[in-house]
Amino acid sequence: MKVAWLLPFALLSGCSTGVQPAPDLVEVKVPVPIPCKVVAPAVPAFAVESLALDATIDQQMKALRAERLQRIGYERELLAAFQACR
């Protein structure tokens, strides 16, 4: 009779011997979107827009060359603002 009450403890002790290893930690990198807080550059007053309709060809060419440089500078400002948001 003394053995009968020890039987449930013996059966339960067999279940607790299987020790499982701790799971490995895995680092997952997930991109998180953030709002862009860059102010867009102001559009410059281009040289050709202020050119008179009766301007000579020399004045027109001078204004076109100046506008090209203005556009290049404006595009660089836009690209810098775009790169700041990446």
CB atoms within 10 A of CB 51: 16
Give the model's pLDDT for residue 12.
64
Q: What is the pTM of this model?
A: 0.56
CB atoms within 10 A of CB 3: 7
Give the model's pLDDT for residue 38.
86
pLDDT tens across 18-75, in order? Answer: 677 788 889 999 988 888 888 889 999 999 999 999 999 999 999 999 999 999 999 9
- The band of 85, judged by pLDDT with boundaries at 50, 70 and 90, is confident
Got the DSSP string for 46-72?
Answer: -GGGG--TT--HHHHHHHHHHHHHHHH
Give the model's pLDDT for residue 18.
64
